[in-house]
Amino acid sequence: MTARQLSYTHGTGTTPLLGDTIGADLARTAAAWPDREALVDVAAGRRWTYAAFDADVDRLACALLASGVAKGDRVGIWAVNRAEWVLVQYATARVGAVMVNINPAYRTHEVEFVLGQSGVRLLFASVAHKTSDYRAMIEEVRGRCRALREVVYLGDPSWEAFTARGATVDRDRLRAREAELSCDDPINIQYTSGTTGFPKGATLSHHNILNNGYFVGELVKYTERDRICVPVPFYHCFGMVMANLAATSHGACLVIPAPSFEPKATLEAVQRERCTSLYGVPTMFIAELNLPDFASYDLSSLRTGIMAGSPCPVEVMKRVVAEMHMAEVAICYGMTETSPVSLQTRTDDDLEHRTATVGRVLPHLEVKIVDPATGVTRPRGEAGELCTRGYSVMLGYWDEPERTDEVIDAGRWMHTGDLAVMREDGYVEIVGRIKDMIIRGGENVYPREIEEFLYAHPKIRDVQVVGVPHEKYGEEVLACVIPRDPADPLTLEELRDFCRDRLAHYKVPSRLTILDSFPMTVSGKVRKIELRERYRD
């Protein structure tokens, strides 16, 4: 067997990796295209040129210095999409603080853990959005988060008061701080749902995420003339890396259509701002295509975009290309721990490659598919665990070296837990998951975290959580419960009431079944695969 037949490939390219910090990269872009638009917040009616954006980032960075934020301090952000989110991302990078992304869907149970585990000392947060009262939730947990010193609310007088502190700091002091930074410094913590309870904080460097955003942008051919519509959340790599960093490293413009996804607002933003690129998970594109007045929107400015999170149905892809004018749309595959993208389709790939595969390896990265039991690389065409290596692999899980060692081996290969097949042409198909992860509407849900939370319900003796198919979301969450008192079993309404305001909405079970016992293996492990098959319909 020759090396060419093995499920291993590496990404070659003539464009070198960037060796800068995020702040330095932004400064170079602002110098090159000062008068081009950098950011448009459609809902707020605000817009920035690159010169203005860079200046506001400097102002906020100086305010961080004035507030005593040191290199390596953790600064949290718990907010929906708005311009201030982006300013915080670049200002924290400019002073060497570690920005901690917090999912806006989190509730008190989750946010208290994240604030405590990462040691956030300063938190930026939305005041409220839809049913989420962030101020009330923060006040509930604040006294138990010992490191937390200050909370600043976006769109609130506390934001203006905080940024005004920047006027007290000389720019030379900021430049001196920037000179102390290395591109390999940790700059971002993103929490991924844990397989054994609480989430893990994937810790990423300037080098990790700046290069990943840059090369994702290179593969969809971004230039300073592109305008990217971003309805995906900034707290996730999809927003803050694949959109924000891809844009600023190419001089492109970011367009925020709304604080959270709204199909109508998204298409209105594309039309009004003449966007050339649109992002989303397949369910977002489906919602846009199904708008009753979809045909009335002028989307002729679009040429590309990125679809990720779950496989795209063939018919949906056909409509995205034909009716949304996105002939160069790309499919991406990745995970938070790899900054995130490892595989991506190219602008000239055919429909079959865009719907049946997740693309081929990015420049400067390696991927292989191995036997999960032995670690030996499989021949092409045979299924195994997908592994990736290169600049994009995280520094590790924050303050959890043992859990880091479980996924990054001695050769610095990141083990994804996904089962995949590499074709002869190097394109990769995802065929299953080794872990029990549920993917609901593009959100990763790990059953163990929900199970450990539900064990606290007084009516539950034992519980197993599995994913079952769902037409709209791909999968939905099913709770299989053994009640403490069979004569007084739990109802779905009681279960959902128990979870409400304490778990993110996408983790709350939408289905419930009451059992006397679980199917078990000979060694005493619950056969989750049997539960999934039993209740899939």
Amino acid, res. 104: P
Q: Among 411, 439, 46, 403, which residue's Cα sits nearest to residue 197?
A: 403
CA distance 117 to 506: 22
CA distance 203 to 188: 6
Contact 198, 449 (CB under 8 A): yes
Q: What is the mean pLDDT of residues 218-239?
A: 97
pLDDT of residue 1: 42
Is the pLDDT score of 195 beyond 80? no
pLDDT of residue 523: 44
Is the pLDDT score of 3 beyond 80? no
Question: Residue 445's pLDDT band (boundaries 50, 70, 90)?
Answer: confident
Q: Return the beta strands (E) in 371-413 as ranges.
A: 384-390, 396-397
Total residue count of the chain as it appears in this document: 537
Distance of CA 438 to the CA centre of its chain: 15
Q: What is the mean pLDDT of residues 257-264?
A: 97
pLDDT of residue 370: 97
Contact 101, 240 (CB under 8 A): yes
* Per-residue pLDDT reduced to its tens digit, 112-139: 999 999 999 999 999 999 999 999 999 9
pLDDT of residue 529: 82
Is the pLDDT score of 270 beyond 80? yes
SS3 of residue 306 by DSSP: strand
Distances (CA, A) of 536 to 195, 198, 425: 22, 27, 34
Kindly report the average pLDDT of the chain as a whole number. 94
CA distance 370 to 434: 12
Candidate from 44-48, 183-187, 251-255, 434-438 with smallest mean pLDDT: 434-438
Q: Within a 10 A sphere around the Cβ of 29, how many other Cβ atoms?
A: 22
Is the pLDDT score of 196 beyond 50? no
φ, ψ of residue 379 in degrees (nearest 5): -65, 155
- The contacts of residue 477 (CB under 8 Å, 6+ apart) are 438, 440, 445, 450, 465, 467, 506, 507, 508, 509, 510, 511
Q: What is the mean pLDDT of residues 239-261?
A: 98
Q: What is the mean pLDDT of residues 221-229?
A: 98
Domains and CATH numbers, the chain: 22-419 (3.40.50.12780), 438-535 (3.30.300.30)
Q: Return the beta strands (E) in 446-490 as ranges.
A: 460-470, 474-483
pLDDT of residue 4: 59
Distances (CA, A) of 454 to 109, 493, 511: 12, 14, 14
Question: Residue 447's pLDDT band (boundaries 50, 70, 90)?
Answer: confident
Q: Among 6, 221, 186, which residue's Cα sits nearest to residue 99?
A: 186
**Do the bridges between strand 414-422 and strand 428-433 make them parallel or antiparallel, or are there none, so unpaired?**
antiparallel
CA angle 513, 518, 519 (to 5 degrees): 125
Question: Residue 524's pLDDT band (boundaries 50, 70, 90)?
Answer: low
- The contacts of residue 202 (CB under 8 Å, 6+ apart) are 189, 190, 191, 192, 336, 337, 394, 397, 398
**Do the bridges between strand 438-440 and strand 414-422 make them parallel or antiparallel, or are there none, so unpaired?**
unpaired
- For 153-211, give the DSSP string: ETTSHHHHHHHHGGGGS-HHHHHHHHHT--TTSEEEEEEEEETTEEEEEEEEEHHHHHH
Q: What is the mean pLDDT of residues 192-211?
A: 84
Q: Return the beta strands (E) in 335-473 as ranges.
A: 341-344, 360-361, 365-370, 384-390, 396-397, 414-422, 428-433, 438-440, 443-445, 460-470
DSSP 70: P
Is the pLDDT score of 160 beyond 50? yes
Is the pLDDT score of 197 beyond 70? no
* Per-residue pLDDT reduced to its tens digit, 451-482: 879 988 999 988 999 999 998 899 999 999 99
Positive or negative torsion for Cα 402, 387, 359, 218: positive
Question: Residue 508's pLDDT band (boundaries 50, 70, 90)?
Answer: very high
Is the pLDDT score of 414 beyond 60? yes
At which residue do the structure tokens 């600023």 appear? 248
Structure tokens at 438: 């549920």
At which residue do the structure tokens 């042409």 appear? 425
CA distance 24 to 6: 40
Q: What is the distance between the terminal CA atoms of the chain, rounded to a whole angstrom?
A: 43
* Per-residue pLDDT reduced to its tens digit, 65-101: 999 999 999 999 999 999 999 999 999 999 999 999 9
Amino acid, res. 184: D
High-pLDDT (> 90) share of the chain, %: 84
Q: What is the mean pLDDT of residues 408-413?
A: 98
Is the pLDDT score of 310 beyond 90? no
Q: Which of 145-159, 276-290, 433-447 has the highest mean pLDDT?
A: 145-159
Structure tokens at 199: 């989430």
Question: Residue 507's pLDDT band (boundaries 50, 70, 90)?
Answer: very high
Is the pLDDT score of 194 beyond 50? no
pLDDT of residue 315: 85
pLDDT of residue 280: 94
Q: Exposed (0-12), middle (13-18) or buried (19+): which is 130, by Cβ within 10 Å?
A: exposed
pLDDT of residue 111: 96
Candidate from 2-6, 399-403, 520-524 with smallest mean pLDDT: 520-524
* Per-residue pLDDT reduced to its tens digit, 377-403: 999 999 899 999 999 999 999 999 999
